[in-house]
Amino acid sequence: MRPSKITGVVCLLLSLSACGYRAAPLTFQEKQTVSDMTANLKTRCIGRYLIDVPADVFVDEWRTKVQGIVVEAHPMSQEEYVETIAAREKELKARKTQAGWTFLSANGKAWDEGSRYFIRLRDNALTDVRKVIEAYKWHNGYLIKVEAPATDEETSVYVRENPRPKVLRNNVRENTYAVFALLQRIRGRGEDEIPSEPGFCFNGGFVPGKTGDGEEIKRVFRLRKTPDVTIEFRTDTDIADAKSLLQRGGEINAVISQNDDMKTLRKGVVDLPGLKAEEWLLAMPLLPKDIPGHRFMLEANATIGSTKTPAVTLEMENGASSKYTEDKETGVTNVVKASLSVGEAMAFWDVISRTLRPRPNGF
């Protein structure tokens, strides 16, 4: 991914080019650990790709955009959905704003039976120009939510009181149409469902159809037994970098040479089914307590990102801190050592990363 997608020096470190590393043969116990971790893999559909991950992972974080519009899905019964939407309507109608502004400007039924939409001001809005269009429906055991921003200067009280010498913008109507059209296409999807038709998988849902601009997904899996081990997958149709992962290596040699705790374990080209990828495996301290750990990264389509060849990044951390590794009373991370040895981490990575492939008929 391009450097803007990752923070500061960490991005550069992930692009490191340096000497290789020869891991010692795994001990019997290390082999058993990796065998146990990979004994029960399940195929997951993410975006238009497939990857096999341990069955006991849970989804720690996700973000999805289709046509540049945010989509999400949450499992719930139809009765819970009705109650949730009623509570949301009550909440929005009760919101107060500066005198003269209207917080909830429209609400009602979208295109599908049982669907609802709300057009409201942004939270903590400084003016009444910026709007949010949010729409909901229930399908196949999931609440589906679609949300997009909009601008309305034509009916804005703020603009009327603070006139500007320009043409007034108003894209509420067109953006509402786009939200309704996308909402109508989405269906709820269980984690074990692997669609056979073209379309885009996200956490709890599926958008059927050919690939297009504005498709972006981020999904972070965390291992239940060792929550400091994470697997993060991202794709984006709107990214095309000037340099690939390996080509960016020369820019960081000076940085790595200044830190004795960072080391390249392995780097090179990886041939995956339907993908030409590059990987970089790095040993490095992980924040916030500088735990000696590992960050592994794989990229594909970095320089040719498009709707047909979206940029793909797979990343793994071993020794990562999060709310799942914090002491419940103090809130301080209790990670004092990465769960996996360097050999275990590399072996586990080699199993998981090599299963990444485009979903058949996904595009």
pLDDT class of 9 with cuts at 50, 70, 90: very low
Predicted pLDDT at 14: 37
For the chain, count helices (H), then strands (E): 7, 18
pLDDT exceeds 70 at position 180: yes
Order of strands, edge to edge, in the sheet holding 49-54?
41-46, 49-54, 357-358
Q: Please answer whether residues 98 and 121 qualify as being in contact, where contact means their C-beta atoms are separated by less than 8 angstroms.
A: no
Mean pLDDT confidence for 195-201: 98
In the chain, the percentage of residues whose pLDDT exceeds 90 is: 79
pLDDT class of 326 with cuts at 50, 70, 90: confident
pLDDT class of 2 with cuts at 50, 70, 90: very low
pLDDT digits (tens, 9 = 90+) for 243-302: 999 998 877 667 777 788 888 999 999 999 999 999 999 999 998 888 999 999 999 999
The two tokens of residue 288 are 């916030």
Distance CA 223, CA 325 (A): 11
pLDDT digits (tens, 9 = 90+) for 104-132: 999 999 999 999 999 999 998 999 999 99
pLDDT exceeds 90 at position 177: yes
Q: What is the DSSP string of 204-273?
A: TEEEES---TT-EEEEEEEESSSTTEEEEEEEETT---SS-TTTTGGGTHHHHTT-TT-EEEEEEEEEET
Structural domains of the chain, ranges and CATH numbers in brackets: 3-67+212-358 (3.40.1000.10), 70-188 (no CATH)
Looking at every residue in the chain, the average pLDDT score rounds to 90
pLDDT class of 329 with cuts at 50, 70, 90: low
Q: What share of the chain is helix, strand, coil (3-state, %, to 5)?
A: 20, 35, 40
One-letter amino acid for residue 205 of the chain: G
Mean pLDDT confidence for 55-70: 94
